[in-house]
Structure 1
Amino acid sequence: MKQVLQDFEQYTEKGMNDWQVPGIAVAVVQGNETIYLKGFGVRKINTTDPVTPDTIFQIGSTTKGFTAALVGMLVDEGLVKWDDRVVDHLQGFQMYDPWVTHEFTITDLMAMRSGLATGSGEGLCSMGYNRSFLMHSLRYMQPETSFRSAYAYQNLPFLWAAALVENKTGKSWEENIQERIFEPLNMLNSSTDQKSFQQAPDVAYLHIRENGNITALPMDQNSTDWVYTVGPAGGINSNIADMAKWLCLQMNNGSYGSRQLLSESSMRYIHSPKTIMNAISTKNNAYYCQGWMYMEASPYPILFHKGGTRGHSAILAFVPQAKIGIVILSNIYGDSLPDYLMFHFLDLYFGNNAWEDVLEALALAKTPMAQADASASEQTDPPRAARPLETNVGNYANETLGDINISQEEGILILAAGPEKLKIYLLPIERDQFSASKTGKGLVAIFQVGDDGKSKSLEISGGRLFDLFGNRVLFQRTIEQQQDVEDKSVMIW
């Protein structure tokens, strides 16, 4: 094992250089013991503060396994069953189709088989809507496939799983995580709120990559507060020392030390395949479980989950039969290095090349990313708008999403949406069509102009902000009244 870890360290250091990653933290667990804890690189680019085993990261969607564990505890206590219908416990739950609403089970909440398009409603989080609004919005989202017929990754159904926990315990999801998981596992440095993350003395800064350059986001900025709004799907802050304890619980059938936090039957259910996933490897089938992913592999299957926020990336994986697991946390957004290192570690540990095709694909992925950044920066200026921008200035409304405002500033249209008045700069593409990017990809806004020379409505499609109604949302112009828009954040897709 010593040689495996030495070789792995070399791969990690080389990978950080190749991917230009500021900092990485790694924990390895064998049996019920943490055998390796190490930080690499720095907490913030262009500084010397090192990443340590105690450095706090946002763990993103690896949080989903925690929410699934809380539901498993309810099952163990006889308060619910996995195949209970959600509406029998939470009468406010509603999907677009009445039959789906009636048949949707607790298992369906965490199995990624709702029938919705991938990531439905996620853009609303960035606009400042609260958790209750996001949960309510599910009823307006038109399905892309039939119920339980296909895998599509979702966050919002996990909010309903958390609501179930709150309903049965009389305590918030955050309180349950603290009392039922963090405290028994002695995860003393883990938390579920933005303030704890921002004020942690040993914390990894959030980094993004734009036009080939890596930038650290200000620690007091609010463009990532949505992570905690959807906390049950991705809002835990932790470090590798604490996450190693969480991994021990998973690898030892729900027990930690002398305590059995979850029954073995609940752990088996949480870890067992529920939905066939898209192929991750050409050689291995993959399935979604309950907040975990299951992949067939040689010599044994692996259970894992990835996580990502606007500034951090994570992966957590273990092999139940071999009782070996790894946690990797990174301080840059959209980073594939944790995946790459996890598969490398498994190949090193088992002495095979089972993940050769995945590793090759991941290694190639970083080159197109850099090329895309470079090409985006070389785009020519967009065409000028065909009509005066005043044509489109005004307020627009949708019965579900409320009001948005279109203003202009220095020859550019600005869309302000949601409670946070999120600002999106719209660039002309052709005629009455505008986009949030020079290339016309992503969010597109099309104005319908009447005979009086004023726009009457606005249709928004693409991107991930207004993704409720088949990825198209229609806003009707309201009474003319210019609004002062507070600049909460600037985002361009």
Structure 2
Amino acid sequence: MRLDRNLCHWRIWAFFAVVVLWPHAAAADTITPERITAAMSKLEALAEGAVADGAVPGLAIGIVHGDEVIFLKGFGHCDAGKPEAVDADTVFQIASLSKPVSATVVAALVSDGIVSWDSKVADLDPAFRLAEPYPTSELTVRDLFSHRSGLPGTAGDDLEDIGYDRAEILHRLRFVPPSSSFRAGYSYSNFGLTEGAIAAVKQTGKSWEDAAEEKLYRRLGMASTSSRHADFAKHANRAALHVKVDGVWAAKVRRDPDAQAPAGGVSSTARDLSQWVRLIVGNGVYDGKTLIAADALDQTHVPLMARGKNPVSGGASFYGLGWNVEFGRHGLSWGHAGAFGVGARTLVTIFPKERLGIVIIANAFPTGLPEGLSDSFADLVFEGSVEKDWIKAWDGIYASLFGPAVEAAKATYAAPPSPARPAAPASAYAGRYANDFIGDAVVVSAGDGLVLKVGPAGARSYSLTHYDGDLFLTFPDTETPDRPTGVSFVVGPDGKASAMTIGFLNDNHLGTLRRVGD
């Protein structure tokens, strides 16, 4: 069968990559229980020190070796400034760490013969469309979980931001032009992977949330884990999301990721996630029983798409099915990070040869603490000492994610031209605008200014401040509230705007809406 031949090819390639391209990785000393014990002690001290220094308000760590959870502990507080301490049962929103968890759910469906990684989405979910007919007809679950469908990475995230639900977002992906040829480019897509999961579960007749619980969470006793935000919100022992306000961690925003639940909507605990890590390092075996067939789970770790190099360690990085596959300082590892810009950081790292895994979940952004702790732990286990300050190195990476873009936007709009061109009367801009992707948008007068309303039934409102001529500014981003973006109008000879371009919805050049109705 072609699938088996391809899988064999990738296994041979991966072996070649580890043994030939990274020969030093194979030469590392065999890890010992004593070294792991010493590493855990030093990791605990690093975590305690980082929380005491204000690196994050709270975090929890689970470590698995073989079929045992050998470390499980919480540090710091659920909500900055409040007494409730994080423990192993504190529920965190795990953001994109949801992706490998969801890949495991689909692997369970594959193992049970319900679906194949190469099942065509056109057969599973005939209503789904990409922008072009050929990719639509050939698209598979494997394509969507490896981010090679051609969908631009941010496609659908913008619609989620303005209040659309999952069904509507997935429907509107058909209006998004591809960013690459089908299967030729890697573009990390929350809603592409979400569609892969939704299509895979269609045959069960269950919702994604119910199927995830049945096929994975319940089987592993992950009683505090859910793919529903409402379940997270019910827990008394839950971690708030934190961002820095004037240099101090503050719980400012709540994040409901239900629309992209398979890609970013799981909530869980260090205790529960450690059970999942046991399943992964056991290659589908848990408590001595095969819960997922090895060949179904193996495929999630085949390196399908090149991602370049790890930005700190320099190791070669690839993407499998919901998993990063890396060849670095300590050989082959599988992993995935997660982040909400409104206040979450998560990470899992697994060394399959050693059957060793670590999961770290934290309640703040930006921070590189999870990667820093994970890399430090790996150094301690494999080498006996920490090579460098990995926490500082990864903090720099995450601090750079938003900072330069925010500063560039501020600089762009630092001061209007002097003198600024006057705006037209408010009546020139007021009215209804629309396109297929964003749907309806309404501009209305409000006092001395304008308000833009977008999303279902005008769910989101943004004040518009005049900048120059027919260009206005707004501040739409809860993750970077001081970052301005432009909203520009085209005013015709009749004195009315015929079109409007919304900067914060224009990542994929779909932010221009035409006036309708008058």
TM-score of the pair, normalised by structure 2: 0.83
- The alignment status of 1:292 with 2:326, answered yes or no, reads no
Contact 1:211 1:374 in 2 (8 A): no
Cα distance change, pair 406–87 in 1 and its aligned pair in 2 (3 A): same
Q: 1:119 corresponds to which residue?
A: 154
Contact 1:457 1:474 in 2 (8 A): yes
Match among 166, 177, 185 for residue 201 of structure 2 = 166
Query: In the TM superposition, what is the alpha-carbon distance from 1:244 to its structure 2 partner?
Result: 0.3
Counterpart amino acid of residue 302 in structure 2:
S
Output the CA distance in 2 between the equivalents of 1:275 and 1:323: 24
Output the CA distance in 2 between the equivalents of 1:108 and 1:270: 12
Match among 411, 417, 430 for residue 454 of structure 2 = 417
Match among 412, 422, 438 for residue 386 of structure 1 = 422
Q: State the secondary structure of the residue aligned to 1:230.
A: helix
Q: 1:24 corresponds to which residue?
A: 59
Output the CA distance in 2 between the equivalents of 1:389 and 1:211: 38
1:439-486 CA-to-partner distances (Å, cap 9, x unmatched) read: 99664321001223221210223x3x454xx33322122336xxxxxx
Q: 1:491 corresponds to which residue?
A: none
Q: Please give the residue correspondences for 1:162-201 in structure 2 after superposition, counting only pairs within 5 Å.
A: 162-201=197-236
Q: 1:407 corresponds to which residue?
A: 444
Match among 223, 233, 237 for residue 202 of structure 1 = 237
Query: In the TM superposition, what is the alpha-carbon distance from 1:186 to its structure 2 partner?
Result: 0.5
1:32-52 CA-to-partner distances (Å, cap 9, x unmatched) read: 111111111111111121111
Cα distance change, pair 102–375 in 1 and its aligned pair in 2 (3 A): closer
Match among 270, 274, 279 for residue 249 of structure 1 = 279
Query: In the TM superposition, what is the alpha-carbon distance from 1:235 to its structure 2 partner?
Result: 0.9
Between 1:60-69 and 1:157-166, the stretch displaced more is: 157-166
Query: In the TM superposition, what is the alpha-carbon distance from 1:183 to its structure 2 partner?
Result: 1.0
Contact 2:79 2:239 in 1 (8 A): yes
Query: In the TM superposition, what is the alpha-carbon distance from 1:228 to its structure 2 partner?
Result: 1.1
Output the CA distance in 2 between the equivalents of 1:354 and 1:8: 10
Output the CA distance in 1 between the equivalents of 2:145 and 2:104: 11
Contact 1:22 1:332 in 2 (8 A): yes
Cα distance change, pair 36–414 in 1 and its aligned pair in 2 (3 A): same
Output the CA distance in 2 between the equivalents of 1:320 and 1:453: 66
Q: 1:454 corresponds to which residue?
A: 496
Counterpart amino acid of residue 495 in structure 2:
G
Task: Give me the identity figure in percent.
Answer: 29
Q: 1:151 corresponds to which residue?
A: 186
Output the CA distance in 2 between the equivalents of 1:411 and 1:13: 52
Cα distance change, pair 107–370 in 1 and its aligned pair in 2 (3 A): closer
Match among 293, 307, 314 for residue 283 of structure 1 = 314
Contact 2:114 2:204 in 1 (8 A): no
Output the CA distance in 1 between the equivalents of 2:259 and 2:402: 31
Output the CA distance in 1 between the equivalents of 2:389 and 2:140: 36
State the superposition RMSD in angstroms: 2.9
Q: State the secondary structure of the residue aligned to 2:309.
A: coil
1:156-191 CA-to-partner distances (Å, cap 9, x unmatched) read: 122222222332111111111111111110011112
Q: 1:445 corresponds to which residue?
A: 487
Q: Please give the residue correspondences for 1:339-488 in structure 2 after superposition, counting only pairs within 5 Å.
A: 339-351=371-383, 356=388, 361-365=393-397, 382-383=415-416, 386-388=422-424, 390=426, 391-419=428-456, 421-437=459-475, 443-461=485-503, 463=504, 465-467=505-507, 470-479=508-517
Output the CA distance in 1 between the equivalents of 2:397 and 2:300: 31
Q: State the secondary structure of the residue aligned to 2:434.
A: strand
Q: How many residues align?
A: 471
Between 1:428-437 and 1:323-332, the stretch displaced more is: 428-437
Contact 2:165 2:259 in 1 (8 A): yes
5+ long unaligned stretches in structure 2: 1-35
Counterpart amino acid of residue 434 in structure 2:
A
Q: Please give the residue correspondences for 1:63-82 in structure 2 after superposition, counting only pairs within 5 Å.
A: 63-82=98-117
Counterpart amino acid of residue 109 in structure 1:
L
Cα distance change, pair 135–371 in 1 and its aligned pair in 2 (3 A): closer
Q: 1:315 corresponds to which residue?
A: 347
Q: 1:485 corresponds to which residue?
A: none
Q: State the secondary structure of the residue aligned to 1:187.
A: coil
Q: 2:300 corresponds to which residue?
A: 270
Cα distance change, pair 118–79 in 1 and its aligned pair in 2 (3 A): same
Q: 2:144 corresponds to which residue?
A: 109
Cα distance change, pair 367–466 in 1 and its aligned pair in 2 (3 A): closer
Output the CA distance in 2 between the equivalents of 1:178 and 1:98: 34
Output the CA distance in 1 between the equivalents of 2:234 and 2:57: 20
Contact 2:96 2:339 in 1 (8 A): yes
Counterpart amino acid of residue 476 in structure 1:
R
Contact 1:397 1:403 in 2 (8 A): yes
Output the CA distance in 2 between the equivalents of 1:10 and 1:377: 40
Query: In the TM superposition, what is the alpha-carbon distance from 1:116 to its structure 2 partner?
Result: 2.6
Contact 2:60 2:74 in 1 (8 A): yes
Q: State the secondary structure of the residue aligned to 2:444.
A: strand
Contact 2:111 2:292 in 1 (8 A): yes
Runs of 4+ aligned structure 1 residues displaced above 6 Å come to 352-355, 369-381, 438-442
1:391-440 CA-to-partner distances (Å, cap 9, x unmatched) read: 32222122332211223445443221102621223334432222334999
Q: Please give the residue correspondences for 1:225-264 in structure 2 after superposition, counting only pairs within 5 Å.
A: 225=256, 227-264=257-294
TM-score of the pair, normalised by structure 1: 0.87
Between 1:254-263 and 1:14-23, the stretch displaced more is: 14-23
Contact 1:53 1:241 in 2 (8 A): yes
Counterpart amino acid of residue 513 in structure 2:
F
Between 1:194-203 and 1:237-246, the stretch displaced more is: 194-203
Output the CA distance in 1 between the equivalents of 2:394 and 2:339: 16
Output the CA distance in 2 between the equivalents of 1:98 and 1:143: 12
Query: In the TM superposition, what is the alpha-carbon distance from 1:195 to its structure 2 partner?
Result: 2.0
Counterpart amino acid of residue 328 in structure 2:
A
Contact 1:67 1:158 in 2 (8 A): no
Contact 2:125 2:199 in 1 (8 A): yes
Query: In the TM superposition, what is the alpha-carbon distance from 1:133 to its structure 2 partner?
Result: 1.0
Output the CA distance in 1 between the equivalents of 2:84 and 2:467: 45
Q: Please give the residue correspondences for 1:133-148 in structure 2 after superposition, counting only pairs within 5 Å.
A: 133-148=168-183
Cα distance change, pair 279–357 in 1 and its aligned pair in 2 (3 A): farther
5+ long unaligned stretches in structure 1: 481-493
1:370-396 CA-to-partner distances (Å, cap 9, x unmatched) read: 977997999897546721460322221
Q: State the secondary structure of the residue aligned to 1:233.
A: helix
